[in-house]
Amino acid sequence: MEKLLEQIKKGTVWAFPGGVHPPQQKTLSNSAQIARLPLPDKLVVPLKQHIGANGKLIVEKGQHVLKGQPLTTPAANWSVPVHAPTSGTITDIAPMPSAHPSALPELSIIIEPDGNDEWCSLNPAINPAKLSHDELVDIIHQAGISGMGGAGFPTYVKADIKQPIEFLIVNAVECEPYITADDVLMREHAKQVVQGIELMQQILNPTLCIVGIEDNKPEAIAAMTQAAEHNANIVIQTVPTVYPSGGEKQLIKLLTNREVPSSGIPADIGILVHNTGTLFAVQQAVYEGKPLIERVITVTGNTIHKPGNVWALLGTEIKHLLDCQGFSPVPQQRVVMGGPMMGFTLPTVRIGVVKTTNCILAPDHKELAEPGPEKACIRCSACADACPASLLPQQLQWFAKSKEYDKLQEHNLFDCIECGACAYVCPSEIPLVQYYRVTKVEIKEQQAEKIKADRAKERFDARKERLEREQEERQNRHKRKPAAKSDDEKQKVADALARVKNKSDNGGEKSAVAAAIARAKAKKQQGEELEPDNTEVAKERALRKEQARKYKEQKSQTDDSGDTAPVDDKKSAVAAAIARAKAKKAAQAQDEQVKTDDANTAPADDKKSAVAAAIARAKAKKAAQAQDEQVNTDDADTAAPVDDKKAAVAAAIARAKAKKAAKAQDEQTNTDDANTAAPVDDKKAAVAAAIARAKAKKAAKAAEQTDQPNVPSINEKPADNVKSEEPQTDSPSDNKKAAVAAAIARAKAKKAAKEAQQTQSDENTEQVTTAEPETPSEISPEQTAAQKKKAAVAVAIARAKAKKLQKEGNDQS
């Protein structure tokens, strides 16, 4: 460090890479003193004239303001106020063209001067040396001072830096051609500039202050040396005239041989840089209490008759400056704000000057020729040789055209200071700086969008986490942590559980419920969360199932205790069907025999006929009963249970056959009655009606017995002379199906019996009521009356029996 200080004090200068030597053209404007211009007709004061946020507007339209009165107040970080350049009335507050290559409108305050140029009350510091650090920073902040030689960085931010500063560098190089504002300012106000340097030394307390001035400004060097001779910590250093030696990083390299890291700032290496005009504004704010409302601007060019430097109020339109200096425009005249290397062409001269405006250049066509059409790159590497930042301008231009932003950042695009040296030496006249400027804006917009999206995602994640946390808190709000239990309480819980267990072992369903209640109470005493426990209920259910299983086994053993062996299911069903068919056939044959006897027998005595008919009916009834009992006994006394499904099938077949036999019997009876040539005696008709009723009753009874097989109970023993036919299963589903099938069969049998009874009753009634003796002489009146009476009685009996049979069928269903 000491060696470096010795080298600096000896005047050692280190070179930086690249650089060019354009024509200086400074003699046009540095020969005259700084001039004062008359007040303009209006002032257009933008609210934003620096890097950072706008200030908060504190004036309104139509308000009268004084010179130096604040128009805005700081409202955010890196925000500095603006002040009224002169006294007057605010005529409007509206967007106006900005001092930018795009001339995009920015909110501005339009002031109409009143000509009095009346100051507001000023508060200069009586003894600046006794001011504290915070007081000096606040004065600089409220004065609205920002960098006046570069991008307009707020000065109070640099002054309030927390990092230790070793070197304070004053940039008085002013390397841009044509510009002489800092040169004449140092000539005429060197003392004030040095006072500003001393104020910054008081704030920052650096080891050494170095003032760098190009060797083409001998008068400024002499003036600054004389003004700073009393301060040993201020070194006036002369640097060679090379463009762009006035660049911040390049000047640091020249004076200290230190390099600012890529994407870093000078404070990272303990260095702070201020412009000459900025330090003069600091001196004015502290010593005189004046805010930043004016600055020195160079007005030059071949179309200006009186080129020179002027004090210009902030907000003064460019047209007013040109007119005051004798502007004679040429066709397609260009007006440049800034120098020829880093300045930009103004789209209109109705733009107000701002804090960073240091030059207005109005050249003719010979002085600053229009650039020609862009040609293809010839890869001469002249741009790379001239770049003071050691970049690859050609490669950056290719990436910029193809919008490869990642590669541009990898090649350190943002280290470019936009000095224009690459474009100045390019033989193909490629506007390299314009490519870089546009691409930088696009990258910054992309980064801003990414930052915005990241913040939105962070807010979303934070909100999601908060909602989940609140939901969890709501769920756990009513949960209580179990309190520590004493030994007595634990013993009580254990006793309760033991009692519950004993009850569960000895009791049934009630004990299970009591056990569950006891467990719930025990858990409630322990403070635990109640949970359903069906263990005891499940045990009771398992016990009942075991009892049912044992009952079924006992039943099966009882059924298997007979001497008969199970027979094939199909054979048993066939045997039952054959037995039922034989019984029906026997009954049918008996009925036919009775009919044949009745038809072949001549009218006889009523008493004998009645006796014969009664005997025939008894025999038929007895035979049908014997057959039905035999069938029922065969079906009911099977030792092994019959399969429900097969039994249901057999029952359905039997019912169908019974129904078919009854229908055939009815048809035969009707045919016999219709084929009888001679009228039948009323007695015979009654006999036929009785036979029909017996057949219908027998058919209904057979159907009912078929539907409901007489299965013996567990306690009954099967008959010794009956052999078991089929084993029967205990499946609940088969039982249900069999029950359904039996119900259907009973309904069908009931319907068939009802139809048969109705048909037979109608026929008998018709026969009885319509039967007449063939010759009246053969039957006496008394006999005729007796026959009619008997026939009526028979019809009534038939109707009663049919009604009774129907009622029995209803009861069975």
Which of 508, 536, 559 marks a domain boundary? 559
pLDDT of the residue at 601:
44
Cis peptide upstream of residue 244 (ω within 30 degrees of 0): yes
Question: Which of 676 and 235 is assigned the larger pLDDT?
Answer: 235
- Same structural domain for residues 574 and 540? no
693/625 same-domain check: yes
152 and 243 belong to one structural domain: yes
Mean pLDDT of 634-647: 46
Structure-token match 């030496």, residue found: 425
Per DSSP, helices labelled H in 362-486 are 382-386, 393-402, 405-410, 421-425, 432-476
Residue 328 included in any domain: no
User: In this structure, what token pair is assigned to residue 572?
Assistant: 């048993």
User: What percent of the chain is predicted at pLDDT more than 70?
Assistant: 68
pLDDT for 637 beyond 50? no
pLDDT tens, residue by residue, 360-383: 999 998 888 888 899 999 999 999
My answer on whether 173 and 250 are in the same domain is yes
pLDDT value for 190: 95
d(CA 615, CA 609): 10
Residues 540 and 577 in one domain: no
Instruction: List, in sequence order, every residue forming a beta bridge with 113; answer none if it has no partner.
Output: 88
467 falls within a domain: no
CB 521 within 8 A of CB 492: no
11 φψ region: left (φ > 0), alpha (ψ -120 to 50), beta (else): left
- List residues bridging with 214 in a β-sheet: 239
User: What is the structure's pLDDT at 101?
Assistant: 82
88-97 and 64-65: which strand pairing?
antiparallel
768 located within any domain: yes
Q: What per-residue confidence (pLDDT) applies to 266?
A: 92
| Burial of residue 797 (number of CB atoms within 10 Å: 0-12, 13-18, 19+) | middle
What residues make up the domain containing 542? Answer: 487-559
| Domain limit, last residue, from 226, 261, 289 | 289
Bigger pLDDT: 711 vs 754 = 754
What is the percentage of the chain residues whose pLDDT exceeds 90? 48
- Check whether residue 429 and residue 508 sit in a common domain: no
In a domain, 399, yes or no: yes
pTM of the model: 0.59
Do the bridges between strand 271-275 and strand 167-171 make them parallel or antiparallel, or are there none, so unpaired?
parallel
Q: Are residues 131 and 154 in the same domain?
A: yes
DSSP 316: B
DSSP 311-379: EEETTBBHHHHHHHTTB---TT---EES-TTT-EE-S-S--B--TT--EEE---TTTSPPP--------
Q: Find tokens 């063209």 and name the residue.
A: 97
- Residue 594 domain flag: yes
> Do 547 and 433 fall into the same domain?
no
User: Does 246 reside within a domain?
Assistant: yes
Which residues belong to the annotated binding site? 377, 380, 383, 387, 416, 419, 422, 426
- Specify the pLDDT at position 681: 47
Closest listed residue to residue 55, CA positions, set 68, 78, 72, 71: 72
Query: What is the per-residue pLDDT for 103?
Result: 85
pLDDT tens track for 257-282: 999 998 889 999 999 999 999 999 99
Statement to judge: residues 127 and 244 lie in one domain: yes
Tell me the per-residue pLDDT of 768-797, one tens digit each, with 9 for 90 and over: 344 333 333 344 444 555 666 666 676 677
Helix, strand, or coil here: 485? coil
Q: Is the pLDDT of residue 712 over 80?
A: no
Alpha-carbon separation of residue 594 from 24, 338, 599, 615, 691 (angstroms): 155, 144, 9, 10, 9
Structure tokens at 351: 């733009």
Residue where a domain stops, chosen among 232, 264, 289? 289
User: Could you tell me if residue 18 is left (phi over 0), alpha (psi between -120 and 50 degrees) or otherwise beta?
Assistant: left
Per-residue pLDDT tens digits for 224-268: 999 999 999 999 999 999 999 999 999 999 999 999 998 889 999
User: How far lies 152's CA from each of 54, 148, 160, 408, in Å?
Assistant: 13, 6, 16, 25
278 in a domain, yes or no? yes
Positive/negative CA dihedral, 329, 334, 338, 341: negative
- HEC profile of 275-309: EHHHHHHHHHHHHHCCCCCEEEEEEECCCECCCEE
Q: Within a domain: residue 273? A: yes
Q: Which of 192, 178, 246 is nearest to 22 (CA)?
A: 178
Question: What residue numbers does the annotated binding site for [4Fe-4S] cluster cover?
Answer: 377, 380, 383, 387, 416, 419, 422, 426
Same domain, 613 and 714: yes
Give the chain's domain count. Answer: 4
Q: To which residue do tokens 């009476």 refer?
A: 789
664 with 606, same domain?
A: yes
Decide: residue 139, CB within 10 A, 0-12 exposed, 13-18 middle, 19+ buried.
Answer: buried
389 and 276 together in one domain: no
